[in-house]
Amino acid sequence: MKNIFLTKSQSEWTDIFGETDACVTPVLDKESVLDHPHNKARGSFLPGGMPRPAPLLSRTPAMPRSLDCTVDPGANTREVLLEAGYSNDSINEMLKHKIIGELNAKSKL
């Protein structure tokens, strides 16, 4: 099956499936996702490239508290999970198995 997909480019496959009702969509890199026609038409991203909160409701659209994302991803993973009821042991286990990430996690040396 892999060899069949390697016979055409992503663009060619997108064109082939574009006019069908098949559930097929290209996997896009970070640079391409903002320019994809579907994402532009739906307004999937806010200015600055932040994903729009979902679901998108017509009468009460969700908006982030701020368009300025000053917190780095993973900066308060432990804090959020503790607030959600996870124990430190559970969080450490998830970190160990790389299920979650934590910014500036302490070294285990």
So what's the pLDDT on residue 89? 96
Token digits for 50?
């932040």
So what's the pLDDT on residue 7? 95
What is the C-alpha separation between 92 and 37, in angstroms, rounded?
A: 41
For the chain, the distance separating the N- and C-terminal CA atoms, rounded to the nearest angstrom, is 44
Select from 58, 51, 94, 47 the least CA-distant residue to 74: 94
So what's the pLDDT on residue 88? 94
Tens place of pLDDT for every residue, the chain, 109 residues?
Answer: 789 989 999 889 989 998 899 888 888 887 789 988 888 898 888 877 888 877 778 787 776 666 555 667 777 889 999 999 999 999 999 999 989 988 765 555 5
pTM over 0.85: no
